[in-house]
Amino acid sequence: MLLNERIKQLRTDRGLSQVELAQKLGVSKQSVSNWENDNIQPSIEMLLKISHVFSVSTDFLLGEDKRQFLEITGLNQKYIPHIQQIIDDLKK
């Protein structure tokens, strides 16, 4: 999957419109549209912002790493093993 496809997939998976993603990133809707249509590439700085918004690595965005991660920062430590067990069960 190419960068433009990955950005669009992450955006739609999270139920965000181009306008909503643009607002989160502090750019115009046109910028998001251009990235998704592969007209232009986001800058390195913007690539970092996109990775933070979607809680993925830049390697994932660039197609170098197929793993996905869940953001658990701020979650009570006692819930983490339960979430890991649910994930493990779903993988079976």
CATH number of 38's domain: 1.10.260.40
- pTM, two decimals, is 0.75
Rounded distance between C-alpha atoms, residue 33 and residue 91, angstroms: 34
Residue 20 lies in a domain: yes
Q: Is 13 part of any domain?
A: yes
Residue 22, domain member (yes or no): yes
Is position 21 within any domain?
yes
pLDDT in tens, the chain (92 residues): 899 999 999 999 999 999 999 999 999 999 999 999 999 999 999 999 999 999 898 999 998 887 777 778 888 999 989 999 999 999 98
Q: Give Cβ neighbours of residue 50 (< 8 Å, ≥ 6 apart).
A: 7, 25, 42, 61
**Range of the structural domain that residue 15 is part of:** 3-61
The count of domains in the chain is 1
Is residue 76 in some structural domain? Answer: no
CB 56 within 8 A of CB 68: yes
